Amino acid sequence: MSQQKKSDNEVTIREHVFDGIQEYDQKLPNWWLFTLYITMVWFVIAWFIYYQTTLPTLTDHERIDASIAVIEEKKKAELETMLASLSDASLQEMSTDATHTGAGKAIYETKCAACHGLDLTAKLGGIQLPGLPLNDSEWKYGGKPLEIMNIITNGSPDVTKGMVAWKTQLSPSEIAQVVSYILSKQPQT
């Protein structure tokens, strides 16, 4: 790099060309420098506080656990509220409402039909499916509406031979809709 000598009044510019762009030897703006220095100081302070002190901060794992606990409490409160307001009569009444049975049918077809069949017979083309038929009056663990809801919610008493619990995948209102759909397909006595 060469420097050109100019008169005393003129500034000397160091030639620097890179990719066809001529750059001049200029000072960086003060606002840019102050921003750089502030971020450097902030990094040192943040690093010291985070790694060298024992502030009562929660880790990501603890924050996630706390959030999950809040969600579980809300689900439990919703379930208790719903179960307190449900009875065999209210579930039977829901089974006559087309909105509840329609929503229950949609849930049933996506979650339950694989084991109990689309037509609730637990058969598919003459082949027995793993579930029990739901369209007859014979029930292994009780056929009252609340008993059916309990089986769907908590699964069968013997998990190795029966249905799994759906309470982790379906809300109490969705379970009630499935129960209303199943009840709507029961033979009237």
Digit-coded pLDDT (tens) for 86-121: 777 888 888 888 888 898 899 989 988 888 888 888
Angle at 151 between CA 145 and CA 157, to 5 degrees: 140
127: helix, coil or strand? strand
The CA distance from 171 to 82, in Å, is 10
Q: In terms of CATH, what superfamily is 60-184?
A: Cytochrome c-like domain (1.10.760.10)
Q: State how far the alpha carbon of 57 is from the alpha carbons of 6, 49, 61, in Å.
A: 62, 11, 11
Check if the beta carbon of residue 95 is closer than 8 Å to that of residue 101. yes
Rg over CA atoms, the chain: 35
User: Helices in 86-143 by DSSP H: which ranges?
Assistant: 88-94, 98-107, 113-116
- Look up residue 39 and give its DSSP letter: H
Domain boundaries, the chain: 60-184
CA distance 168 to 156: 15
Q: What is the pTM of this model?
A: 0.57
Q: Largest alpha-carbon pair distance within the chain?
A: 114
pLDDT band (50, 70, 90) for residue 2:
very low
Poorest-pLDDT segment among 61-65, 92-96, 131-135, 158-162: 158-162
A 10 A CB-CB count for 136 gives 14
